[in-house]
Amino acid sequence: MSVTYLEAIRAAQEKALADDPRVFIYGQDVGSFGGAFKATKNLAAEFPGRVMDAPLSEDAIVGLAVGAAIEGARPIVEMQFADFSTVGFNQIVNQAATLYYRTDIPCPIVVRLPSGGTLGAGPFHSQSMEAVYAHYPGLVVMTPATVEDAYSMMLEAVSIDDPVIFCEHKLLYYHLKADKLPDTAQPVGKARIARAGRDATVVTYSAMLHESLQAAEDLVEEGWQIEVIDLRTVKPLDTDTILASVARTGRLLVVGEAWPWGGVNAEVISRVATEGFGLLDAAPMRLNARDTPVPYHPDLWAAHRPTASVIAARLRQLLTQ
């Protein structure tokens, strides 16, 4: 038996509903239809009244979740695409994210964001919004890259007392598979060394983990051993694991699918530069998507985001500097 990344998210939501009566799911088409991507398939039938179709109103959906959280519920809300969370942005960053700081009442909501680019998806069904949300104090931002993390981090997202922005990558939904769901997990907030190496460190997360691992594999033939770190959560950012790796390798490339200006990559490099400058043997490098909307045409899209071959090429530059 194997389980996909998407099935892991579904299974985690199922377990959360089964284990905790305070949990409910609210979002467009999440009920009997099972969600646009089927992440809530059969859950409405299994948990009557707790998995409900919402009107087409992201602002109100998130607002409802915050209100319910104030009253002790643990809502999971689904945005049909991460891109549409901009419509619920005010409730996320001003209502949910400030509640605990202002009132001492925590806000245990999970906002699921089907994120990232896929073939032909275009400017409004492709966005990676983790950096935008990470910018706001008061939010935990998760970016699982593996089936195991999709499952265990979703469970932890529901149990955490703070608002969690759960960025699940659509490109991983169907293709990424594991043999089984995990029984144990690394705690949220800790990065993971996905591949050990000594020559350079790649820090990455979400779908770019897989492009980076491929690049690392491609460089083996050339004699390079690349360490690849999967951030898992971009906020909090596990600076210690990054610095420890850079201390071993002396070289850093940060890879992300989001836009370049002020994102996760910029934050990682800024922390390494300020806290670990002396560890670096070469200037740190980064790869982001290009600074334009995500294009529709497959050829443009392929040139818009980092890929394994681009990452490998950049690593060659870094390694010979």
Partner 1 sequence: MVTAAKEKTVACNDLDPALLVRAYRVMLLARATEDKLASLYRAGMIKGGVFLGKGQEALSTASSIFLKKGDIFGPLIRDQAGRLAFGDTVLDTFRTYLGSAKGPMRGRDGNIHRGRPREGYYAMISHLGALVPVVAGGLYARRLRGETGVVGVTSIGDGGTSTGAFHEGVNLAAVERLPLVVVIANNQYAYSTPNSRQFACADLLDKAAGYGIAGFKCDGTDPFASLETLQLAVQAAREGRGPQMVVATLLRLVGHGEHDDAGYVDAALRQANVGRDCLEVGATQLIESDVATADDIAVWTKEAQAEVEDALNIAQREKGPDPAEEDWQAISTERLADGHHDLEDE
Ligand X SMILES: Cc1ncc(C[n+]2csc(CCOP(=O)(O)OP(=O)(O)O)c2C)c(N)n1
Of 45, 94, 103, 123, which lies in the binding site for partner 1, with binding defined by CB under 8 A? 123
Shortest CB 242 distance to partner 1, Å: 19
Main-chain dihedrals φ then ψ at residue 148, nearest 5 degrees: -60, -45
Residue 221 or 291 with smaller CB distance to partner 1: 291
SS3 label, residue 38: coil
Q: Judging by beta carbons within 10 Å of its beta carbon (0-12, 13-18, 19+), is residue 2 exposed, middle or buried? A: exposed
* 292 touches, from ligand X, partner 1, none (C-beta below 5 to 8 Å by class): partner 1
Shortest CB 285 distance to partner 1, Å: 8
Residue 40 or 146 with smaller CB distance to ligand X: 40
Work out whether 206 is an interface residue with partner 1 (CB under 8 A). Answer: no
Shortest CB 163 distance to ligand X, Å: 20
Residue 36 or 310 with smaller CB distance to ligand X: 36
Q: How far is CA 172 from CA 16, 61, 146, in A?
A: 22, 26, 8
Q: Contacts with ligand X in 29-68 (CB under 6 A)?
A: 56, 58
What's the full length of the chain, in residues? 321
Preceding amide of 114 cis, omega within 30 = no
Q: Contacts with ligand X in 214-253 (CB under 6 A)?
A: none
The catalytic residue positions are 125
Size of residue set near partner 1 by CB under 8 A: 51
* 282 touches, from ligand X, partner 1, none (C-beta below 5 to 8 Å by class): none
Site string for partner 1, 224-263 (x = CB under 8 A): ------------------------------------xx--
Of 84, 166, 259, 301, which lies in the binding site for ligand X, with binding defined by CB under 6 A? 84
Work out whether 29 is an interface residue with partner 1 (CB under 8 A). Answer: yes
Side-chain-facing half-sphere of 69: CA atoms under 13 Å: 34
Work out whether 28 is an interface residue with ligand X (CB under 6 A). Answer: yes
SS3 label, residue 227: strand
Which residue in the block uniquely carries the two structure tokens 């997990």?
185
Q: 169: how many CB neighbours lie within 10 A of its CB?
A: 27
Residue 58 or 257 with smaller CB distance to ligand X: 58
Residue 232 or 305 with smaller CB distance to partner 1: 305
Which amino acid is located at 71 in the chain? Answer: E
Q: Identify whether the C-beta of residue 311 lies closer than 8 Å to the C-beta of residue 215.
A: yes
SS3 label, residue 225: coil
Q: Judging by beta carbons within 10 Å of its beta carbon (0-12, 13-18, 19+), is residue 27 exposed, middle or buried? A: buried
Strand arrangement of the beta sheet that strand 192-195 belongs to: 192-195, 226-230, 200-204, 252-255, 285-287
Report strand pairing: 192-195 vs 226-230: antiparallel
Binding site for ligand X (CB under 6 A): 28, 56, 58, 80, 84, 87
Task: Using CB under 8 A, list all residues that contact partner 1.
Answer: 28-29, 31-33, 36, 52-60, 81, 83-84, 86-87, 119-125, 260-261, 285-293, 295-300, 302-304, 306, 310, 313-314
